[in-house]
Amino acid sequence: MNSLLVVLALALSAAILTLVPAMGGAALLITLIPAAVAYILIATHHTDRRFLIQLFGAALLVRMLLATLIYAFSWQNFFGGDAFTYDTFGYAMMKSWEGDKFYQILVNQFTATTGSGWGMLYLVAVIYKVIGQNPLAVQFANAVLGAATAIVSYMTVEEIFENRAVSRIAGISAGMFPSLVLWTSQGLKDGPIVFLLALSMLATLKLGGRFTVKYLAVLVFALFSLLTLRFYVFYMAIIAIGMAFLLGTKAMNAQSLVRQMIVVGVLISAFFYFGVTRYAGTQFETYGSLAMLERTRKDAAVSAESGFGKDVDVSTTDGALSTIPIGFTYLMLAPFPWQMTSFRSLITLPEMVVWWCSLPILITGLWFALKVRLRKILPILVFTIMLTLSYSVFQGNVGNAYRQRAQLLIFYFIFTSVGFVLMREKRAEKARQRESERRQHRGPRPG
């Protein structure tokens, strides 16, 4: 398998240099650094190293292939036009670092009008500072983060259930599910957000078991980075993680209580020191009102052919609550078969069939996790519920619902993986029982 991955990597590199000779070489070079770092970190994982290396390699190659096709054939506007925005303003930020006043004005306009997402400009600007303007390199960097998310997902499930089969299925799902591959193969902020969410939950679980400076630093970094990309996700993550530390992911004793209080104290101090609380508060006051939510949702519902709930009003608490059922349905199940009237929606059909069929398995796994691992899954459960309900309220068209669901899939896959293993074990047990009954029915063999 390792040899096959190496051969495929060499073939893909040759194809990249052929299809996009102007950008391909530098993009490949900039990808080697984070990929090598990820490889070294994975190699320290002693329990399932070979599988994780192969999973990371396969997930990375799939994403790099799709990223190359999107760039080479100019499909970016078809799949995710936001990438042009980050390319433009990321380049402007890089130029502003060189003292260009005009580009500084552009960057200031972006940060003043969007409120969040400026962290993506820094990622783009850093890459452009090293190798020049190269959107393909940004896509490859996101591809590395997407592939690394699969590894983080594996480690998270391992921390919760200590079951290799469940961990492997969760890792493969996060690494190979089509929508996750799609959104982490482009120059969008979706890839970093999904990675940072997974990383913050893993760090929380690790700190719940044992205090380490390494995972505390990882948690602070992940949460601060989330704030720069999508501030309301930061709020939800903080609430979920705070509840986990206050209630504990394991039975509480004096030692664990002190550990939890130290972690919470360091987090609060770090956020105050870096001005996070002041910035987040300003963002919430500006963009966190129901009136702003209503305008955002209405624009999405009216401007797109796939808009839904165009007559609902979420500017009041009652209106927002009444929107949840229809919003939740679209978030979890859209696009529906009758909505697949274009090529863009039709290509989601294979994935959606798999997703629809996996929902009963997800419910089975969730119920099992609630019964046997409630404390462990608490931060993930609280965050997933909050973000699911939030997106149910303010998503206004099918395309956005499909895209935002990717941020939740890595957590849904945890429970789906549990349910799948439970189902497989139940089938194996029934097969053993049938075999035992057949043997009893035949009776003892004659001597």
The tally of domains found in the chain comes to: 1
Report pLDDT for 97: 95
Specify if 79 maps to a domain. no
Q: What is the mean pLDDT of residues 195-205?
A: 95
Tens of pLDDT, residues 285-319? 666 666 777 777 776 666 666 667 777 777 777 87
pLDDT of residue 358: 96
Which residue type does 155 have?
M
Whether 325 is covered by a domain: the verdict is: yes
User: Which of the residue ranges 104-118, 129-143, 355-369 would you say has the lowest mean pLDDT?
Assistant: 104-118
Residue 269 falls within a domain, yes or no?
A: no
Of 304, 303, 324, the C-alpha closest to 312 is 324
pLDDT reading at 152 higher than 60: yes
Q: What is the model's pTM?
A: 0.92
pLDDT at 384: 93
> How far apart, in whole angstroms, are the C-alpha atoms of residue 160 and residue 137?
35
- Report the mean per-residue pLDDT for the chain: 87
| pLDDT over 60 at 87, yes or no | yes
Q: Is the pLDDT of residue 18 over 60?
A: yes
Count how many Cα atoms sit within 13 Å of the Cα of residue 93 in the half-sphere of its side chain.
Answer: 23
Token readout for 41 is: 């970190």
Provide the sign of the torsion angle of the four alpha carbons 372, 374, 375, 381, taken in this order. Answer: positive
> In the predicted model, what is the mean pLDDT of residues 388-417?
88
Lowest mean pLDDT across 117-131, 247-261, 315-329, 412-426? 247-261
Contact (Cβ atoms closer than 8 angstroms) between residue 90 and residue 128: yes
Task: Provide the residue type at 401 as one letter.
Answer: A
Question: Does 33 have pLDDT greater than 90?
Answer: no
pLDDT score for 337: 87
**CA dist., res. 66 & res. 185, Å (int):** 6
Give the domain range for residue 374: 301-424
Asked if the model's pLDDT at residue 213 lies above 80, the reply is yes
In a domain, 447, yes or no: no
pLDDT at residue number 209 = 81
Could you tell me the two tokens for 375? 């404390």
pLDDT at 285: 66
The whole-number pLDDT of residue 253 equals: 63
| Model pLDDT, residue 83 | 94
Residue 125 lies in a domain: no
DSSP assignment of 339-369 equals G--SHHHHTTHHHHHHHHHHHHHHHHHHHHH
CA 3 to chain centre: 29
| 329 within a domain of the structure (yes/no) | yes
Among 402, 407, 381, 424, residue whose Cα is nearest residue 166? 424
233 has pLDDT over 80: yes
Distance in angstroms (rounded) separating the CA atoms of residues 388 and 366: 15
- pLDDT interval class at 444 (50, 70, 90): low
Instruction: Extract the tokens encoding 309.
Output: 């709930």
**What pLDDT sits at residue 288?**
64
pLDDT band at 55 (very low <50, low <70, confident <90, very high): very high
| Model confidence band, residue 400 (pLDDT cutoffs 50, 70, 90) | confident
Q: Is 391 inside a domain boundary?
A: yes
3-state secondary structure 291-305: HHHHHHHHHHHHHCC
**Which has the closest alpha carbon to 226: 238, 243, 244?**
238
Can you state the angle between helices 2-19 and 49-72, rounded to 10 degrees? 20
pLDDT at 354: 95
* DSSP 3-state of 338: helix
Domain membership of residue 121 (yes or no) is no
Whole-number pLDDT of residue 208: 84
Under the banding of pLDDT at 50, 70 and 90, the label for residue 144 is: very high
How high is the pLDDT of residue 306? 64
Name 97's Cβ contacts closer than 8 Å, sequence gap at least 6. 125, 129
